[in-house]
Structure 1
Amino acid sequence: LILSVPITDKEGKAFLSDVVVNPTHAAYIPIKSSPRNFAQLINSLKGRPYGWGGLSYYNDCSAELKGMFLPFGIWLPRQSRDQIKITEMVDLSTDTPTQRLTYLIHHGNPFFTIMYIKGHIFLYLGNFSQVDQKSPMVMSYQNIWGLGNVARDKISIIGAAVFLPLLLSYPEDPNFNSLLSRDTFQVSHLNHLPPGYPNLILPYIL
């Protein structure tokens, strides 16, 4: 593939230069929204530091999802509160944490269901069996700053893009405030976008 990329000259001014890229390192987008492609993309992003509002060119939660869905031709707004509204939203804010978990187990679409808890948004990955529990564990992917405690007087810093199980409580410290127990809990399924929603077409290259 031949790409035109901006580089600097000796005076520090930008100009376009054609470069050749191996097809294994680049692709026309939109690419196929397959579990394999999602997994490859997420695998390249995990562990990257959290950046408030894009600080130091790192992602916060909404920038992480916006950048992740772009290669698949799905345009997301920049803010988390807007991302959850692009398709029909299911508001589970009046449900209990157990009811929310049950909804995700039965209605979640891996890689296409996003969850919003006011100020934070994250991606549903699927259900995973546990030997010692009757119900499956719901796994999510997100770029998160940290987990607060129930008293809301301290926070345990994560500060990175991570895989995080959605548990009613965390065995490492039961005082952590579960993401399932936040006052706001809304869900949207991006595989049910409304007709005419903006999608990318060729020849964009990633």
Structure 2
Amino acid sequence: MEIKVCSGAICFLALLGLLLLTAPCLAAAPEPAGLSGVSAAMLRADFWIERAPSPQQVILTPSQIAEFNQAILAALPQTMVDFDRFPEVVDRSTLQRWLAADRLPRDAERYSRGELLTGAFYDRLAQNLNLRGLRETNPVRWGFTVRRTDLRTFPTGTASSEDDESDDFDLFQETAVNIAEPLAVLHRSGDGVWLYVQIYNYRGWLRAADVALSPSRQAWNEKRRSAKFLVITGTKVVPRETVMGIPVPDWRAGMGSRLPLLGMEQGGYAVEIPLRNSDGNVYWRKAWIHGKADVSSGFLPYTRANILRQAFKMLGEDYGWGGLDEGRDCSSFIMDIYNVFGIWSPRNADQQERVPGRRLGLAGVADAVARQALLSRSEPGATLHMRNHVMLYLGQVGGKYYAIHSLGSYGDASRPRADGTLPRIEVMRVVVGGLDLRLRSGRRFIEVLSSANTWRP
């Protein structure tokens, strides 16, 4: 199983262990939007845009973004796919290898709703993988999600948590997937309830009820390549059945979603929404989005100003492991920002660090002055990477460096322990904070950065 940065098993073990050790003396959580040392002015995108170099200048044109996407694919061939080159059939050995990449955690102590997961549960889950149903050659089907849904490690909705009191960190949760997401269907579970699918940056299991199949690859391509499309640029937008109708919750679309655009009608956007008929096949229904909704006809221009504006739209929103409960973890926060420009962002933070941009290596640079000099060369909107976390760089004020990120917790420097470690302060929000913030190990964020990456060739 891939380790999700900011939402992976290793990260959670450390977080949980420290929480248990310090539970009686947890500090109060800070304000959700800004941490200590952040002024009210710093909580506005314009504050940082005004300080950014050439904020309105286009970083990459659409054709240059298309070339950049191909470079991302080449750098991450194991996790990213170009559907134009995806095969019509997948052989048994390839599917077996993909399915075996995630091992059932039989030896781990895991809970669901406070109940210990047993060997019998894992036996049933192994059977539901339906490995006997694999053929020598397996035809690929093509489809779309019909609602926002969860991509799972295994074909089950049962949570898998190391905490017997909470399923907030469900280790079987991979990522949330937006409505109208194009996908390839590779396999079906033994009970028929789940489909093993490939989206452009991930593989996993979706509920079959949340997927509608196209009659052919050609029909699927025609929809996913629609020349006119609407991009959701707000944190979420909910289409309506009629111009004046009520929003349909199942149709909610998160930042970065793309919907086929029919045109402007009666002061609103007429779009198409994929629905699933009783046979599991797709049909498209006309829907409306308010003319003043936070959307864009086509991708947004890729500028520093737009990167920062997109980030600040999520300020104060809840952290959500793998997209649970409509939240975002650190890497989906980054992914959603870059998707509105048509950039194919990887899902996980370790993969995002490997995006072939203008990367400044900070690992191994122990000298504080040299590290700050390198960081000063980063452009606002660059991604900042450290073990188990990714942030969006904002700039510096008064010699202090700042970022916006979806943060789980940090260390309380006001109450150090004898061994130098710090009590945990829970955040679980998208916040603006200085890089002098401390980890629970006592080290500052700026001291442990491994790289800064500006997403351009």
When normalised by structure 2's length, the TM-score is 0.35
Task: Quote how far apart the aligned CAs of 1:19 are.
Answer: 2.1
- Alignment match, 1:146: 409
Pairwise CA RMSD of aligned residues?
2.9
Q: Select which of 316, 328, 333 maps to 1:59.
A: 328
Matched, 1:18 2:18: no
1:101 aligns with 2:372: yes
Cα distance change, pair 22–127 in 1 and its aligned pair in 2 (3 A): same
Partner of 1:189: 454
- The 1-side partners of 2:383 and 2:450 are apart by 11
Alpha-carbon spacing, 1:153–1:127, altered in 2? closer, same or farther (3 Å): closer
Alignment of 1:121-160 (within 5 A): 121-128=390-397, 130=398, 136-148=399-411, 151-152=420-421, 154-160=423-429
The answer (yes or no) to whether the contact 1:69–1:76 under 8 Å persists in 2 is yes
Q: Where do residues 31-180 of structure 1 align in structure 2 (5 Å cutoff)?
A: 31-88=300-357, 89-96=359-366, 97-105=368-376, 107-111=377-381, 113-128=382-397, 130=398, 136-148=399-411, 151-152=420-421, 154-167=423-436, 176-180=442-446
How far apart are 1:50 and its partner, in Å? 0.8
Give 1:154 shift: 3.2
* Alignment deviations for residues 104-138 of structure 1 (CA, whole Å, 9 cap, x no partner): 21x11111x1111011011111222x3xxxxx222
| CA 58–86 in structure 1, closer or farther in 2 if over 3 Å, else same | same
How far the C-alpha of 1:80 sits from its partner, in A, is 0.5
Contact 2:421 2:442 in 1 (8 A): no
Distance 2:365 2:283 in 1: 55
TM-score by length of 1: 0.73
Structure 1 segments of 4 or more deviating over 4 A?
6-9
Identity rate, percent: 18
Q: Which has the higher contact order (CA 8 A, sep 6+)?
A: 1
Alpha carbons of 1:61 and 1:125: their partners in 2 closer, same or farther (altered >3 Å)?
A: same
Q: Please state whether the residue corresponding to 2:391 is helix, strand or coil.
A: strand
AA aligned to 1:104 is: L
* Distance of aligned partners of 1:56 and 1:22 in 2 relative to their CA distance in 1, 3 Å threshold: closer
Deviation of the 1:141 alpha carbon: 1.0
How far did residue 91 of structure 1 move? 2.3
Tell me if structure 1 keeps the 8 A contact 2:422–2:442. no
Size of the aligned set, in residue pairs, is 176
- Cα distance in structure 1, aligned partners of 2:324 and 2:446: 27
Q: Secondary structure at the match of 1:144?
A: strand
Equivalent residue letter for 1:31: L
The residue type equivalent to 1:57 in the other structure is: E
CA distance in 2, matches of 1:29, 1:65: 20
**2:283 and 2:291 mapped to 1: Cα distance?**
24
Q: Quick one: which amino acid aligns to residue 452 of structure 2?
A: V
Contact 1:147 1:176 in 2 (8 A): no
Q: CA deviation at 1:75?
A: 1.3
Mind listing any 5+ residue stretches in structure 2 that lack a counterpart? 1-268
Structure whose alpha-carbon radius of gyration is higher: 2
Q: Which structure 1 residue ranges, 5 or more long, are not aligned?
A: 131-135, 193-206
Moved more, 28-37 or 42-51: 28-37
> Is 2:267 aligned against 1:2?
no
Residue 62 of structure 1, CA deviation = 0.5
**Bigger Cα displacement from structure 2, 67-76 vs 29-38:** 29-38
The CA deviation at 1:15 is 6.4
Q: Spell out, residue by residue over 1:129-184, the C-alpha distance to the aligned partner (whole angstroms, 9 max, x if none).
A: x3xxxxx22221110111136734632111111111222x67xxxx85311122x5
Counterpart CA distance in 2 for 1:116 and 1:154 is 23
Task: Work out the CA distance in 2 between the residues paired with 1:35 and 1:91.
Answer: 21
Work out whether residues 139 and 165 of structure 1, in 8 Å CA contact, stay in contact via their aligned partners in 2.
yes
* Whole-angstrom CA distance in 2 between matches of 1:176 and 1:16: 54
Looking at structure 2, the residues matched to 101 and 50 of structure 1 have their Cα atoms a distance apart, in angstroms, of 29
Of 49-58 and 95-104, deviating more is 95-104
What secondary structure sits across from 1:124 in the alignment?
strand
Could you say what secondary structure the match of 1:127 adopts?
strand
1:85, distance to aligned residue in structure 2 (A): 0.5
